[in-house]
């Protein structure tokens, strides 16, 4: 069955066809049903229903969480859809608050700290040694990071000083995006390799007794 679904989806490469669309629709439905199963069994049951059932005295306040979650579904009731805003603001604002601390503490500060490096220790013994020397690595890190940040500063128009630095930042970005493209090719192709490996080794070979 898995092999037939695989072939049905791959048939899209030749032409859009009803078999592919059937497989696609089935996938959409099964994915949504999957959400229902994992959420009920893995989150709501152990974290809400069971604590309320087994120890209500300790966990009575989880009813509030349940209500806030249920409020989200009020958007589907025509006249009281606005009640969903209570669940939605709680959900969005909480995760944005956590993002705030996570971004500043976990991204901005460590990445900025990484650029506070002494630019010393150049090794001129050879081409490879020079580019791998601590001084060169530090210089590239500082120049690259700050030129990219200057490029992204759009609040003011670039002038004669910042324009060339921003251009250098663009070059660093192009190297990064080119490398990212190379990795993206690897990533996408890996998925295809996985599927074809399944079709060949787990489906075709057993059919032929290999």
Partner 1 sequence: MTELHFDTGRVLLLICFGLVPVAGIILGLLAPSLRRQIPLIVGFVAGIVPILSLYIPKRFLSAAGEGMSPRLDQYLIIVAGFALPLGIVNVIQINSRRVGRGEKGWPFALALLIGLLLMGGFGVYGAFSGQGIGFLPSGAPTPFQWMTDWFFRPLQATIFSLLAFFMASAAFRAFRARNVEATILLIAAVLVMAGRVPLLDFLAYPFPPLHPLAASLSQTMGRLTEWIMDVPNSAAQAGIIIGAALGAAAMAIRVILGIERSYLGLGKGD
Partner 2 sequence: MSIVDRLLAIDRRWIFLFVLMAVTIPILLPLGLPVTTTGSTRAAFEYIESLKPGDIVWLSFDYGPSSAPENDPMAEGFLRHCFKKDLRVVVCALYPLGGLSLANSSVAIVAKEFPNKKYGTDYVNLGYKDGAEAVMRRLGENIADAFPTDVHGTPISELPLFEPETVPVERRTIDRVQVKAPGSEVRMGIRTIGQFKVVFTAATGLIGEYWITLVNAQFGTPIIIGPTAVSAPKYYAFINSGQLKGMLGGMKGAAEYEQLLGRKYPELSKFYMETRLFTGTKGMDAQAGIHAVIVLFIFLGNVAFLLARGRERKG
Q: Which residues bind partner 2 (CB under 8 A)?
A: 13-14, 31, 34-35, 38-39, 42-43, 45-47, 50-51, 94-95, 98-99, 101-103, 105-107, 110-111, 113-114, 141, 176, 179-180, 183-198, 200-201
Q: Which of 47, 120, 121, 201 binds partner 1 (CB under 8 A)?
A: 47
- By CB under 8 A, the residues from 137 to 176 that bind partner 1 are 137, 140-149, 151-152, 169-176
- By CB under 8 A, the residues from 52 to 71 that bind partner 1 are 56-58, 60-62, 64-71
85 touching partner 1, by CB under 8 A: yes
Q: How far is the CB of 128 from partner 1 (least distance, A)?
A: 7
CA distances from 79 to 72, 76, 82, 86, 195 (A): 14, 9, 8, 15, 48
Number of residues that bind partner 1 (CB under 8 A): 123
Q: How far is the CB of 48 from partner 1 (least distance, A)?
A: 5
Q: How far is the CB of 74 from partner 1 (least distance, A)?
A: 10
Q: How far is the CB of 56 from partner 2 (least distance, A)?
A: 15
Q: Which of 111, 121, 129, 163 binds partner 1 (CB under 8 A)?
A: 111
């Amino acid at each position: 069955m898995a092999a037939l679904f695989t072939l049905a989806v791959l048939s899209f490469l030749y032409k859009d066809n009803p078999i592919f669309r059937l497989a696609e629709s089935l996938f959409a439905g099964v994915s949504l049903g999957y959400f229902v199963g994992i959420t009920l069994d893995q989150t709501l049951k152990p974290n809400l229903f069971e604590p309320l059932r087994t120890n209500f005295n300790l966990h009575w306040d989880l009813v509030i969480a349940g209500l806030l979650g249920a409020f989200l579904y009020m958007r589907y009731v025509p006249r009281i859809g606005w009640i969903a805003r209570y669940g939605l603001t709680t959900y969005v604002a909480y995760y944005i608050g956590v993002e705030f601390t996570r971004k500043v503490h976990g991204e901005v500060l460590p990445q900025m700290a990484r650029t506070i490096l002494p630019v010393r220790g150049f090794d001129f013994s050879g081409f490879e040694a020079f580019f791998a020397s601590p001084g060169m690595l530090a210089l590239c890190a500082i120049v690259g990071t700050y030129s990219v940040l200057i490029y992204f500063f759009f609040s003011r128009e670039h002038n004669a000083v910042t324009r060339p630095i921003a251009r250098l930042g663009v070059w660093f970005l192009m190297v990064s995006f080119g490398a990212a493209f190379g990795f993206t090719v690897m990533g996408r192709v890996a998925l295809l390799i996985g599927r074809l490996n399944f079709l060949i080794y787990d489906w075709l070979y057993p059919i032929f007794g290999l």
